[in-house]
Amino acid sequence: MAIGVFARLRAVHVSTVLALLIVSGCAGAPPPSSASIAPGEARHDPTSTASASHQEGGHDEHARSGSAHEATPAGARIDQQLAEVARIHGGAGPWAVAGYRMGRYALERLGLTHQSFDLEVIHHSPRSVQFTCIADGAAAATGASLGKLNLSLVEEADEAAVATTYRRRSTGASITLRPTATFKARFKDVPREQLPAAGRVAMELPETEIFEEQR
């Protein structure tokens, strides 16, 4: 009987020791569940939907910023050209811009540079603002002026006669340009408050939509 009591006491002792070991953690704690991970300890899973969205969003953001950067030089160039017109004319409406575009084209065709004294500009126009604005645009593009005696205005009775002749004095080579019929119809009598926006549109148009060579 004494042996049986001793055996039972020993079994109780072993069970107690095992229980204490489990409580103290010596038997190994189970891995923490995802709910128990602190917010700052969240594991990064590159295959997760959130991670993929972040990566794709990052690429899209870089693409957008790249496109904006690439578009900036063209916009800055147009702003600079409009400012050049406004510096001479006081504004950059579509007709002054047309004169500017014609002047730049003529310089290239004649092989001349801005401010060349070898250039003569003769503008034919009625005494009507918008048609005469072309002369100021030509001055902005070429550097010709009344004071240098290489820019002159010839008064015409009919707006159909509006045209500008650019001549290289040393060679006699010349080119005469006039607004296209579609340009005149589109930009005739633009309200004053709409002139800046219309001028920007004109600066962005292809040359063939602004002027043509008069043979």
**Residue-wise pLDDT tens digits, 131-145:** 999 999 999 999 999
Confidence band, pLDDT 50/70/90 cuts, at residue 2: very low
Distance from C-alpha of 196 to C-alpha of 111, rounded to nearest angstrom: 31
> Which domains does the chain show, CATH number per domain?
76-213 (3.30.1330.130)
Confidence band, pLDDT 50/70/90 cuts, at residue 129: very high
- Say how many C-beta atoms besides its own lie within 10 A of residue 178's C-beta: 21
